[in-house]
């Protein structure tokens, strides 16, 4: 495995060569994914491979109208999945155990959802690295957390599952391979020692100011770069939809 390629040169890829990903390549990458760490070895996640082109196109629309999703050769939805384990408990007579021993019958709560999300994301990122090592590019689609009710119906999702992320993968086009990398905050801001160190005024002066964070310049209603970033990302309609969708899913989960 080439450390530079997999980690230091990686960038998100949003345009792919037309060719499908060979099934042996997929199988190898999925094998790597299955070796990802998983809480209690319980594997609290599932992956739905989207093969139906009509479904891909629909997801491209429901995930904030991102057309490149429909053209991606390999599309995977990662579910936080407590349905499988809870189904096993039911099948194994946990209800009977609780009745017999006078225990309350517990159901998955918010903590279980978070743990299942951790599992799903560990699996997704392992898959990203494996794919990168074999020459494939990828892009996360966080917008799969929007429109929960629609996605539940489209993907036949049972209770105690949640699509926490989606990945699109394929061979990068030449243009995507050469695209400049998006900058990052430095380790000094991100990595703390022993205790949390809040960002200083000097840190804030430098944050998100470099080119590559999109058109982060004041304009319209915004008078500072931070105001522009707030309007463009945090207060964007897709962020509001994600908040609504996740709150609605949580109601159901509870």
Ligand X SMILES: Cc1cc2nc3c(=O)[nH]c(=O)nc-3n(C[C@H](O)[C@H](O)[C@H](O)COP(=O)(O)O)c2cc1C
Residues 25, 164: Cα–Cα separation, whole Å: 24
The distance of closest approach from Cβ of residue 57 to ligand X in the complex, given in angstroms and rounded to an integer, is 16
Q: Give the CA angle between residues 131, 137, 143 to the nearest 5°.
A: 105
Residue whose beta carbon is closest to ligand X: 142
The distance of closest approach from Cβ of residue 132 to ligand X in the complex, given in angstroms and rounded to an integer, is 11
The distance of closest approach from Cβ of residue 226 to ligand X in the complex, given in angstroms and rounded to an integer, is 18
The set of residues, in sequence order, having a beta carbon less than 8 Å from that of 46 and lying 6+ positions away, is 78, 79, 81, 84, 161
Instruction: Please check whether residue 102 is in contact with residue 125, taking contact to mean a CB–CB distance below 8 angstroms.
Output: no
The set of residues, in sequence order, having a beta carbon less than 8 Å from that of 27 and lying 6+ positions away, is none
The distance of closest approach from Cβ of residue 159 to ligand X in the complex, given in angstroms and rounded to an integer, is 24
Nearer CB in complex with ligand X: 62/165: 165
Residues 148, 244: Cα–Cα separation, whole Å: 9
The distance of closest approach from Cβ of residue 25 to ligand X in the complex, given in angstroms and rounded to an integer, is 21
Map tokens 């009509």 to a residue. 54
Nearer CB in complex with ligand X: 68/89: 68
Nearer CB in complex with ligand X: 14/86: 14
Nearer CB in complex with ligand X: 11/84: 11
Report the interface residues with ligand X, using CB under 6 A: 11-12, 14, 66, 139-143, 165, 181-182
Nearer CB in complex with ligand X: 13/86: 13
Nearer CB in complex with ligand X: 67/93: 67
Beta-strand pair 137-141/74-81: unpaired
List residues bridging with 137 in a β-sheet. Answer: 170
The CA R_g of the chain, rounded to the nearest whole Å, is 21
DSSP-assigned letter for residue 209: -
The distance of closest approach from Cβ of residue 225 to ligand X in the complex, given in angstroms and rounded to an integer, is 17
């Amino acid at each position: 495995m080439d450390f530079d390629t997999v980690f230091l040169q990686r960038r998100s890829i949003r345009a792919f060569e037309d060719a499908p990903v060979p099934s042996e390549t997929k199988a190898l990458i999925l094998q790597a994914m299955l070796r990802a760490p998983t809480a209690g070895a319980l594997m609290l996640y599932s992956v739905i491979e989207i093969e139906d082109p009509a479904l891909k196109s629909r997801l491209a629309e429901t995930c904030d109208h991102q057309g490149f999703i429909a053209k991606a050769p390999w599309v995977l939805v990662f579910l936080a999945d407590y349905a499988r384990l809870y189904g096993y408990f039911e099948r194994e007579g946990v209800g009977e155990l609780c009745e017999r021993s006078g225990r309350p019958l517990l159901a998955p709560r918010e903590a279980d959802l978070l743990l299942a999300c951790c599992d799903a994301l560990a699996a997704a990122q392992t898959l990203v690295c494996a794919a990168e090592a074999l020459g494939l590019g990828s892009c996360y689609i966080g917008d799969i957390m929007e429109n929960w009710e629609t996605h539940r119906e489209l993907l036949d999702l049972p209770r105690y599952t949640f699509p926490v992320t989606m990945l699109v993968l394929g061979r990068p086009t030449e243009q995507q391979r050469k695209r400049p990398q998006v900058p990052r905050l430095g380790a000094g801001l991100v990595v703390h020692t022993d205790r949390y160190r809040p960002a200083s005024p000097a840190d804030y002066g430098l944050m998100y100011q470099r080119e590559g964070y999109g058109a982060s310049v004041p304009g319209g209603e915004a008078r500072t770069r931070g105001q522009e970033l707030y309007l463009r990302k945090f207060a964007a309609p897709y962020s509001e939809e994600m908040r609504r969708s996740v709150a609605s899913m949580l109601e159901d989960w509870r």
